[in-house]
Structure 1
Amino acid sequence: MKAKSVICHEFGKPEDVLYVVNRRVNPPAEGEVLVRMLLSPINPSDLIPVRGSYSHRISLPMVPGYEGVGVVEEVGTSVSQNLLGKRVLPLRGDGTWQDFVKVPSEWLVPIPPSINDQTAAQLYINPLTALVICQEVLCLGSGDVLLMNAAGSAIGRIFAQLSMIFGFQFIAVTRNSNDTQELLQLGAAHVIDTSCSSLKESVMEITSGRGVSAAIDSIGGIEGTQLVDCLQPHGNYLAIGLLSGIPIQWQEVSKRTAVNVKLFHLRHWNKQVSPYDWQEKFHQIMNFVKEQRLKITMPEIYFDLLNVREAVVEAESPNRKGKKVFLKMGHEDGSEK
């Protein structure tokens, strides 16, 4: 059987280096499951490796896509036949931007009927990252104040909601007022629009001069450095992204302040977590969704896998910031058996 896959043979602009090809799909080996993909979102984290930011650890050619939802089509030996036809998250296997994905059965995450495909497809990168940070990295709870830049993003919206669940105060930092009302409705205690307010002055006013206990930086550069000045002495600074492409000069920062600097990559957590803990985290996330304590941004537009180049351009359009673009899979078009 052959089916469509998005392939990247060289690093560069996603709209220039992504191709759709027909590849042979081999049966699952022992302990593996073959999943027929349904939907996969386009996240910034999907496109960063395509551009070559992680070229030192990524082998080409590669299939992009970190998350998505599908249906179990075939199982290998030693895997229960009861999985056939079940909706699942096929994570930690091949890239998800293809019609079929093979994955070890122990990492497969079953999806209950109460969760729709659009939500299920987005339960990995942002919700799991945010949950692990809250529970294990920063251990946030009552009395803690978390400051985060680029908070109008999908993961910023999730932190706003988790603040209501875990009881910490969330201060969202944005560059404009477009997301202010939504962030406040989701649970943010305050939203600071840096286009019209000083970040440090605003934070000190909100915290009565104490500063925040933790800060999350997704940007780096000047905006990331500004978060440091808002921290309490020995507060926790967590870097989770580098949207600006400009690293912070920590030697200079350390001369004038004392902060606990941490770096979080979900792949590092993945390497040390057990299958039980992995499943337990997803169980928590899905319970939050079923209880309507956590709402995931719904996709705004869909593209067929064949139109992946147009899809990535649309996903990165400045006018679509914070809105989701999805890829639809289906082996009826362009595949052969």
Structure 2
Amino acid sequence: MDGLCVTYSRFGIPEQVVTVENKKVEKPGYGEILVRMLDRPINPSDLIPITGAYAHRISLPAIPGYEGVGIVEEAGDSVSRELLGKRVLPLRGEGTWQQFVKAPAQWAVRVPDCIEDYTAAQLYINPVTAWLACTEVLHLQQDDVLVVNACGSSIGRIFAQLAKILGFRLIAVTRNDSYTKELLQLGASYVINTTKTSLRSAVLELTEGLGANAAIDSVGGLDGADLAYSLRSNGTILTIGLLSGMPVQWAEVTQKTNVNVKLFHLRHWNEQVTGQAWHEVFNRLMSLITDKKLELMKPASFYDLSSVREAVQAARSAEGNNGKIFLTSI
């Protein structure tokens, strides 16, 4: 049996280097499942590796895609046959931008019937990162103040909802007023538009001169450095992304600010997490979704897997953040 897959054999502009090919579908091995994919969101974390940013740890040719949802078609030896026909997130296996994905059964996450495909498909990268950042890395407590930049993004909206769920106060940082109303409704305490207001002075005013307890940086560059100057002494800044492509000179910043800098990548957590803890995090997030306390973004549009170049171009050229672009296949 053959199936379509998206692949790239050289690094470059994603819509120019990805191609669609037929691939022989291999049977799942010991402890593996074979999943017929349904939906996959296109995330920045899917596209950045294609550009060559992480060329030192990517072997070509490669198949993109870190998350998505599908139906278990076959189960290898030692895998429960109860998974057959069930919807799962086939994580930590092959790239998800293909019709059939092989993945380790132990990390496959069962999806309740009440959660829609498009929601399930985006349960991994942003929700897990946001949850772990708040609970396991920063250990935010009731009424702690957290500052987050690029808060109009998908993950920014999740941080706003977690503020309401966990009880901390979120100062959401944006570069325009487009998302202010929505972020406040979702759970942010304040929204700062840095094109109009100095971040540091605004945070100090909102915290009666103390500064925030913690900050989360997805941007890097001057934006990341500015966050550090909005923290109180011995506060913590957590870096989870580099959307600007510009690193922060953290050694220089910490000397001037007396803040702690931490780095978080899901792959580091994956390397040490137990199977039980892994599934507990997903079960917690799915409970929040079914209880309508957490809502992920609705799709902006769907593209068939065979139209991946058009889909990637749409994802890269989208203005604002009005929903994910999805790759779909039946």
Give the corresponding residue for 1:123.
123
Cα shift readout 1:302-328 (whole Å, capped 9, x = no counterpart): 000111011011011242534210001
Could you tell me whether the CA contact under 8 Å between 2:154 and 2:321 is conserved in 1? no
Q: Please give the alpha-carbon distance, in whole angstroms, between the structure 1 residues aligned to 2:15 and 2:6.
A: 12
Q: What CA RMSD, in Å, does the superposition of the two structures yield over aligned residues?
A: 0.9
Q: Please give the alpha-carbon distance, in whole angstroms, between the structure 1 residues aligned to 2:60 and 2:222.
A: 33
Gaps of 5+ in 2: none
Give the corresponding residue for 2:293.
293
Counterpart AA for 2:62: M
Give the corresponding residue for 1:114.
114
Cα shift readout 1:200-248 (whole Å, capped 9, x = no counterpart): 1111111111000000011111111111110000100101111111111
Give the corresponding residue for 2:170.
170
Give the corresponding residue for 1:159.
159
Cα shift readout 1:125-148 (whole Å, capped 9, x = no counterpart): 000011111111000121310001
Q: Please give the alpha-carbon distance, in whole angstroms, between the structure 2 residues aligned to 1:300 and 1:143.
A: 34
Give the corresponding residue for 2:196.
196
Give the corresponding residue for 1:270.
270
Could you tell me whether the CA contact under 8 Å between 2:254 and 2:260 is conserved in 1? no
Q: Please give the alpha-carbon distance, in whole angstroms, between the structure 2 residues aligned to 1:4 and 1:177.
A: 42
Counterpart AA for 1:262: K
Cα shift readout 1:285-304 (whole Å, capped 9, x = no counterpart): 00000000000101010000
Give the corresponding residue for 1:145.
145
Gaps of 5+ in 1: 331-337
Q: Which runs of 4+ in 1 moved over 4 A?
A: none
Give the corresponding residue for 2:207.
207
Give the corresponding residue for 2:243.
243
Give the corresponding residue for 1:234.
234
Could you tell me whether the CA contact under 8 Å between 1:314 and 1:320 is conserved in 2? no
1:195, distance to aligned residue in structure 2 (A) = 1.4
Q: Please give the alpha-carbon distance, in whole angstroms, between the structure 1 residues aligned to 2:251 and 2:7.
A: 40
Q: Please give the alpha-carbon distance, in whole angstroms, between the structure 2 residues aligned to 1:255 and 1:276.
A: 40
| Aligned pairs (5 A) from 1:1-337 | 1-330=1-330
May I ask how many residue pairs the two structures share in their alignment? 330
Q: Please give the alpha-carbon distance, in whole angstroms, between the structure 1 residues aligned to 2:117 and 2:253.
A: 44
Q: Please give the alpha-carbon distance, in whole angstroms, between the structure 2 residues aligned to 1:283 and 1:70.
A: 18
Could you tell me whether the CA contact under 8 Å between 2:221 and 2:246 is conserved in 1? yes
1:329, distance to aligned residue in structure 2 (A) = 1.5
1:255, distance to aligned residue in structure 2 (A) = 2.9
Counterpart AA for 1:124: Y
1:256, distance to aligned residue in structure 2 (A) = 1.5
Counterpart AA for 2:36: R
The structure-2 alpha-carbon separation of the partners of 1:162 and 1:237, relative to structure 1 and needing over 3 Å to count, comes to: same
Cα shift readout 1:253-307 (whole Å, capped 9, x = no counterpart): 1331211100000110011001111011000000000000000101010000111
Could you tell me whether the CA contact under 8 Å between 2:99 and 2:329 is conserved in 1? yes
Cα shift readout 1:74-112 (whole Å, capped 9, x = no counterpart): 111111111110000000000100000001111110001
1:119, distance to aligned residue in structure 2 (A) = 0.5
Counterpart AA for 2:83: L
Q: Please give the alpha-carbon distance, in whole angstroms, between the structure 1 residues aligned to 2:254 and 2:31.
A: 49
Could you tell me whether the CA contact under 8 Å between 1:152 and 1:322 is conserved in 2? no
Q: Please give the alpha-carbon distance, in whole angstroms, between the structure 2 residues aligned to 1:252 and 1:29.
A: 50
TM-score calculated relative to the size of structure 1 = 0.96
Deviates more, 1:88-97 or 1:75-84: 75-84
Cα shift readout 1:11-33 (whole Å, capped 9, x = no counterpart): 11001110000000011111110
Cα shift readout 1:155-208 (whole Å, capped 9, x = no counterpart): 000010011111100010000001111100100000001111111111111111
Q: Please give the alpha-carbon distance, in whole angstroms, between the structure 2 residues aligned to 1:308 and 1:285.
A: 29
Q: Please give the alpha-carbon distance, in whole angstroms, between the structure 2 residues aligned to 1:228 and 1:320.
A: 25
Q: Please give the alpha-carbon distance, in whole angstroms, between the structure 1 residues aligned to 2:226 and 2:187.
A: 23
Instruction: Tell me the secondary structure at the aligned position of residue 48 of structure 2.
Output: helix
TM-score calculated relative to the size of structure 2 = 0.98
Q: Please give the alpha-carbon distance, in whole angstroms, between the structure 2 residues aligned to 1:152 and 1:320.
A: 8
Counterpart AA for 2:96: T
Counterpart AA for 1:109: V
Counterpart AA for 1:323: G
Could you tell me whether the CA contact under 8 Å between 1:170 and 1:188 is conserved in 2? yes
Percent identity (aligned):
57
Give the corresponding residue for 1:335.
none
Counterpart AA for 1:257: T
Q: Please give the alpha-carbon distance, in whole angstroms, between the structure 2 residues aligned to 1:154 and 1:97.
A: 20
Instruction: Tell me the secondary structure at the aligned position of residue 319 of structure 2.
Output: helix
